[in-house]
Amino acid sequence: MESLSWSLEGKVATVLIQRPPANALASGLINEIDSLLDELEENADVRVILLKGEGRFFSAGADIKEFTTIESGEEFSKLARRGQDVFERMENFSKPIIAAIHGAALGGGLELAMGCHIRLVSENAKLGLPELQLGLVPGFAGSQRLPKLVGRAKAAEMLLTSDPISGSEAVEWGLANKAYPEDQLFDKAKEMADKIAKKSPGAMKAAIELLSYSKDDRFYEGVMREADIFGDVFVSADAKEGISAFMEKREPHFKG
């Protein structure tokens, strides 16, 4: 794999995202995550998965450069559905997945983190869904998972302002479980992973299955509609302006 590596310590598989400089979430990385889940699911030595990013960030967003190579709204919707499927698989995965978030989890990076069962953050991390700043909307189920975690009003604030929140705020809002000083984050995450790994694998699998019943049919309807809208918005003039502005490091000028 080009962008992922993993190592086993005890019963915990630590998975490292390695896609410098920002661990951007490209389609290839999404496919690698899916393949790695295949591998870890069959490995009886692995009871818990700990996901973290190498370098300065957990994952600072989707790969905007890849967006410029996509030519149609239908292709964009297909990309969205692929990410949705993999992150849904993560949320229902038979082994607990813990995200240890430092630096930033933005856009697709936050959607990846929201697909994990538990999120631990550094106090100064930045978490957000800034897609509207590019004239886009979230595409990997972020518009559906975020309000389930923080409530509709706070989700609206995060989406419509594009402003990130800190790791400490993420705990207050319900987006993350615990916040730590950055130099303690990974040790604390490993400590929790080790604690969980002592539980019965069968009981953990059953508990995760039971948690999935908290999502109703409207969630899945919303996810499907998100993918459609992701493609529709992508072909708009405002989206082209937003992506161009991002690449050119300037303020976008949306005309509606």
CATH of the domain at 160: 3.90.226.10
For residue 21, tell me if it sits in a domain: yes
Q: Is the pLDDT of residue 216 over 90?
A: no
Rounded to 10 degrees, the C-alpha dihedral 77/52/24/162 comes to 70
Is the residue at 169 inside a domain? yes
Give domain status of residue 231, yes or no: no
- pLDDT, average across residues 189-194: 98
Question: What dihedral do alpha carbons 88, 149, 25, 76 form, nearest 10°?
Answer: 70
Residue 191 is a catalytic residue? no
Which pLDDT value is given to residue 112? 98
Which residues neighbour 186 within 8 Å (Cβ) at sequence distance 6 or greater?
A: 52, 100, 102
DSSP string, 162-173: ---EEHHHHHHH
**172 classed as catalytic:** no
Could you tell me if 137 and 131 are in contact, meaning their C-beta atoms sit under 8 angstroms apart?
yes
What would you measure as the largest C-alpha separation in the chain, in angstroms?
A: 56
In a domain, 209, yes or no: no
Please name the helix (run of DSSP H) or strand (run of DSSP E) that holds residue 161, with its range, or none. Answer: helix 152-161
Catalytic residue among 111, 182, 221, 241: 111
Residues 8-50: pLDDT tens digits? 999 999 999 999 999 999 999 999 999 999 999 999 999 999 9
In a domain, 217, yes or no: no
* pTM for the predicted model, two decimal places: 0.95
When the pLDDT of each residue in the chain is averaged and rounded to a whole number, the result is 96
Number of domains into which the chain is organized: 1
The percent of residues in the chain predicted with pLDDT above 70, rounded, is 100
- Encoded tokens for 90: 């993560």
User: Which listed residue (39, 54, 71, 131) is catalytic?
Assistant: 131
Residue owning tokens 């993999």: 86
Q: What is the predicted pLDDT for the residue at 45?
A: 97
Q: Which residues have a Cβ under 8 Å from the Cβ of 14 and sit 6 or more positions away? A: 6, 7, 8, 50, 52, 190
Q: Is the pLDDT of residue 70 over 90?
A: no
The answer to whether position 58 is within a domain reads yes
Statement: residue 215 has pLDDT above 90: no
Residue 57: which domain range?
4-184
* Residue 244 pLDDT: 92
Residue 243 lies inside a defined structural domain of this protein: no
